[in-house]
Chains A and B, each alone.
Chain A
Amino acid sequence: MTQTHPFVEIRHAQKSYGKLEVLKDISLTVERGQIVAIIGPSGSGKSTLLRAINDLDPLTAGEVWLDGLQVNKSLPHRQYEKHINEMRQQIGMVFQHFNLFPHLTVRENVTMAPKLLKKITDKEADTLAEEQLDHVGMLERIDYYPSQLSGGQKQRVAIARALAMKPKLMLFDEATSALDPELVEEVNLVMKKLAEEHMTMIIVTHEMDFAASVCDRVIFMDKGLVVEEGPPELVFKNPTQERTQAFLRKHLEGAK
């Protein structure tokens, strides 16, 4: 493709449940290697937007593009299923509640999708699991079951599981919100490591400090709209919008 296009592009995203408009015409772009935080009060639509990127929550209207391909292309059902499964292999996602597969070991959690979808051999799968788990500091728990891990460890395994598909883009949906405070740091460290490796990441978070220290850009959403966006220095230190100021006042106070 000769023309340049943004790495991730959301065009006029709208989402409504009946009369309730959760997303009202949101457009944004993310460049390759960028790390973007989406912040905002609960119910602002930030998780819905994130989940629209891999079509987990399909948009009512609007387009999502990744690296020159439309994710939510309109296709007949069967073709669409094939298409979306291929797109999702390129988009890793990490959930608030980890969603590890409890009936599989840590190793199997990491290797299941690559084995099924990329037809790698058992030996390649083992190497892959060891690499990815080493990356998140979980190699020594490779043959444990999720029920034997702490929350922070589970989330690190969940990150390794997503990375094992070698995604181009990683989505984090409040990855540390369900963790005990003392377990947040180990997950943040893994995410920082990914940032240093220039993984493109979109992070929905409540942690302003983390957003400020890791992200290139912060997007503040409220009531289904992007209210303000910019580099963290600007959004956090000198927000121009009244709603942003009110949100940050509440949140930064709450943190102290």
Chain B
Amino acid sequence: MGLDFSVIPPFYGTLALGVLWTIAITAASAVLSFFGGILLAVVALYGPLLVRLPFRFVAWLFMGTPLLLQLFLIYFGLAQIGVDLPAFVAGVIGLGFHYAVYNSELIQTAMVAVDKGQMEAARTLGLSRRQALMRVVVPQAVRDVLPPIGNNMIALLKDSALVSVIGVSELTLSAQLAIGRTYRPFEFYAAAAVLYYVINLGMEAVLRGFEKRNRLSR
């Protein structure tokens, strides 16, 4: 059977919807992973022991087990014990926390590397430790690891394909739906690949914009 890309146009709508869902789930997870990463980093470095230890354990769980399994656990597992999350929400929680843990590792390293004089100067002005952390240390740490956080976000975009297995009709699942109707896996998976690549380019442009804005402030 030869290739025939003319099977794609009738499914433009399906694929476009898939792209929108992929962007939505990636954006929501990216925001969660960014702020979650900051929270985890601050707690890991400055939290009281009784908070730090359980956080550490959860972080270890998210880093040490497959993302696919985490998605199953959050979506199907939690439903069994009565926490019935919509697939989109379960996907955002899984992706978001998974990458929050990775972001937090980056941010922690950068926070430790921020000059001690920064905290001292902030405390000397009368800021509380929390204020000094959130206004002075964290922004500098985040600024310093923006490029590797950007890499994590691109990995997140690609891993968003995994939420197709819990039924979020994002790009991969949309392609599968089209394949189910046409039996044309090559054409639709190739089309999805191209669309992922285009989203990726857009995302890189956004990240570069953030990095540029930070150029002077170091």
Contact = CB atoms under 8 A, between A and B. Distances in A.
Interface of A: 54, 56, 81, 85-86, 88-89, 91-93, 95, 97, 99-104, 112-113, 116-117, 145, 147-148, 158, 161-162, 165
B126 A88 contact: yes
B125 A161 contact: yes
A117 B123 contact: no
Given A101-B122, A147-B216, 16 more contacts: A56-B120, A81-B128, A85-B126, A97-B115, A99-B118, A101-B121, A102-B140, A103-B139, A103-B218, A113-B126, A116-B135, A117-B127, A145-B216, A158-B121, A162-B124, A162-B125
Given A99-B115, A101-B136, A103-B139, A117 B120 contact: no
B6 interface: no
Contacts of B128: 81, 85
B138 to A, nearest CB: 10
Interface-centre pick from A54, A89, A103 (highest chain B CB count, 10 A): A103
Interface string B33-66: 0000000000000000000000000000000000
Contact of B218 (A56, A93, A147): A147
A81 B126 CA distance: 10
A165 B127 CA distance: 11
Contacts of A101: 118, 121-122, 136, 140
List the 9 closest pairs (A to B, CB-CB), nearest first: A89-B126, A99-B121, A113-B125, A99-B117, A93-B124, A103-B217, A88-B126, A145-B216, A85-B126
A95 B135 contact: no
- Residue in B115, B143, B217 with the greatest tally of chain A CB atoms within 10 Å: B217
Contacts of A95: 117, 120-121
Given A56-B120, A95-B120, A101-B136, A165 B125 contact: yes
A103 B125 CA distance: 17
A99 B125 CA distance: 12
Interface size class of B (residues with CB under 8 A): 20 to 34
A204 B128 CA distance: 26
A32 B115 CA distance: 34
A102 B143 CA distance: 11
Nearest to A112: B135
Interface of B: 115, 117-118, 120-129, 131, 135-136, 139-140, 143, 214, 216-218
Contacts of A56: 120, 123-124
A148 B117 CA distance: 19
Nearest to B143: A103
A223 B140 CA distance: 38
Contacts of A91: 124
A107 to B, nearest CB: 13
Contact of B217 (A89, A117, A145, A158): A145
A159 B123 CA distance: 15
23 contacts: A56-B120, A85-B127, A85-B128, A89-B125, A91-B124, A93-B124, A95-B120, A95-B121, A99-B120, A101-B136, A102-B140, A102-B218, A103-B139, A103-B214, A112-B125, A113-B126, A116-B135, A117-B127, A147-B216, A147-B217, A147-B218, A148-B216, A158-B121
Contacts of B129: 81
B68 to A, nearest CB: 38
